Amino acid sequence: MKELSLNILDIAQNSIRARATNVDIILKEDAETLTITVSDNGCGMKADFLKRVTDPFSTTRTTRKVGLGLPFFKMEAEMTGGSLDITSKSEEEHEDHGTVVTARFFKNHIDYIPLGNIIDTVCTLIHGAEEVDFLFLHEYGERSVMLSTREMREMLGDEVPLSSPEVLAWAREYLTEGYAELYR
Amino acid sequence: MKSLAELSAIREKMKGKIALREGSSDTRIVVGMATCGIAAGARPVLNAFVEEINNAGLVGDVTVTQTGCIGICQYEPVVEIYAPGKEKVTYVKMTPEKAREVVEKHIKNGVVISEYTIGNSKL
């Protein structure tokens, strides 16, 4: 992947496929590190699948025997001296099921891939997931950018879908302003 | 500054318009958004379709949606177009520029750009 924001889009699609209704995407950043956490309340994974989930030859897809989403993300984190952790509780075994993927990056490492267009990723997720609530939070030092689709829905009511062009345009401007402030 | 409160203004403005949009939508543009699609550049392709359909005033008639792996990863970004009474058209190796062209020629004027379809792909 050319941007970490594309990995975030990809990992969040796993949550949607796991029938999650809530997906939290939290970025914590300082001058040296970036920690990306994607957590969901989806169906989760059992211990045996969890153990081999970062192996490229494990996948839930039915069209191919290779799944590269998590292996890529792990490799990209490790290339910078960072790491990737996954914890998961399967719905068969736990009431509070779901998955948490955490990746840590060292930004000053030469192999660090830039975050890229995170605004496009958030807008793409909002566009694609009428049945999922996203909480997006990016903290940089003391400042932060936050967008919650639950809060958006409360303002919009039941009638206006999140995928409406007017709503997506608003989200794009809201995040653009937020980011101008964040990296001020 | 943009605020959440502006969404209630959008809600007011769109009252009554949504009913017209829903249900009348009959053409579907489906963009593959699995790892293979995303890595090959599906995100800007999807956004180009959303933007162009809005610019063309076709929001009620055409829906843009996302799907998982279509199974032909080497041809990504892949876009499928479903229109009632017509055969599905599969465009391959898409770019935002090609997406704009597809909206202009195929969606607006009904002319399939066979050069970009899978049947014509020399790969």
In this complex, the residue of B10, B35, B65 whose CB is nearest that of residue A68 is: B35
Question: Which pLDDT belongs to residue B104?
Answer: 97
Please provide the distance, in angstroms rounded to a whole number, between the alpha carbons at the two ends of chain A.
27
Give the sheet arrangement for strand B79-82, strand by strand: B62-67, B27-32, B79-82, B89-91
Instruction: State which residue of chain A sits closest to B69, comparing Cα positions.
Output: A63
Mean pLDDT, range A22-34, rounded to an integer: 97
Choose which CATH entry (1.10.3210.10, 3.30.1490.20, 3.30.2130.10, 3.30.565.10) describes domain A4-182.
Answer: 3.30.565.10
Question: Does B46 contact A at CB distance below 8 Å?
Answer: yes
Question: Strands B79-82 and A143-148: what pairing?
Answer: unpaired
Q: What is the pLDDT of residues A47-100, one digit of tens each?
A: 888 888 887 776 665 555 557 889 999 999 999 999 999 999 999 999 999 999
Integer Cα distance of B8 and A89 in angstroms: 38
- Decide if B44 and A127 are in contact by the 8 Å CB cutoff: no
Mean pLDDT, range B73-100, rounded to an integer: 95
In a domain, B3, yes or no: no
- Decide if B43 and A1 are in contact by the 8 Å CB cutoff: no
In a domain, B58, yes or no: yes
Q: pLDDT tier at A174 (50, 70, 90 boundaries)?
A: very high
Greater model confidence, B22 or B46: B46
Mean pLDDT, range B4-29, rounded to an integer: 80
Answer yes or no: is pLDDT of A28 > 80: yes
Q: What is the pLDDT of residues A108-146, one digit of tens each?
A: 999 999 999 999 999 999 998 788 999 999 999 999 999
Answer yes or no: is pLDDT of A25 > 80: yes
Q: Shortest CA distance to A140 belongs to which of A182, A184, A102, A82? A: A182
Question: Which pLDDT belongs to residue B20?
Answer: 59
| Residues of chain A contacting B29 with CB distance shorter than 8 Å | none
- Decide if B47 and A120 are in contact by the 8 Å CB cutoff: yes
Question: Which pLDDT belongs to residue A104?
Answer: 98
Greater model confidence, A121 or B85: A121
What percent of chain B has pLDDT above 90? 71
CATH number at residue B57: 3.40.30.10
Answer yes or no: is pLDDT of B23 > 60: no
In a domain, B31, yes or no: yes
In a domain, B43, yes or no: yes
- Decide if B2 and A17 are in contact by the 8 Å CB cutoff: no
Question: Which pLDDT belongs to residue A49?
Answer: 85
Instruction: State which residue of chain A sits closest to B52, comparing Cα positions.
Output: A165
Integer Cα distance of B22 and A95 in angstroms: 36
Interface mutation vs chain A, best among B6, B7, B29, most A CBs within 10 Å: B7
In this complex, the residue of B34, B44, B70 whose CB is nearest that of residue A13 is: B34
Integer Cα distance of B59 and B52 in angstroms: 10
Q: What is the pLDDT of residues B34-75, one digit of tens each?
A: 999 999 999 999 999 999 999 999 988 899 999 988 889 999
| Residues of chain A contacting B68 with CB distance shorter than 8 Å | 13, 17, 61
- Helix (H), strand (E) at residue B28: strand B27-32
Question: Which pLDDT belongs to residue A135?
Answer: 97
If you average pLDDT over every residue of chain B, what do you get?
90
Give Dmax (Cα) for chain B. 51
Instruction: State which residue of chain B sits closest to A68, comparing Cα positions.
Output: B35
Q: Residue B106 sits in which domain range? A: 24-120
- Decide if A61 and B59 are in contact by the 8 Å CB cutoff: no
Question: What is the domain partition of chain A in residue ranges?
Answer: 4-182
- Decide if B10 and A166 are in contact by the 8 Å CB cutoff: yes
Question: Which pLDDT belongs to residue B25?
Answer: 60
Q: Shortest CA distance to A171 belongs to which of A137, A120, A131, A133? A: A120
- Decide if B5 and A155 are in contact by the 8 Å CB cutoff: yes
- B86–chain A nearest CA distance, Å: 25
Question: Which pLDDT belongs to residue B120?
Answer: 81
**Total domain count for chain B?**
1
Tokens of A39: 């957590």
Question: Which pLDDT belongs to residue B19?
Answer: 62
Question: Which pLDDT belongs to residue A173?
Answer: 96
Interface confidence (ipTM) of the complex: 0.88
In a domain, B68, yes or no: yes
- Decide if B10 and A72 are in contact by the 8 Å CB cutoff: no
In a domain, B9, yes or no: no
- Decide if A17 and B68 are in contact by the 8 Å CB cutoff: yes
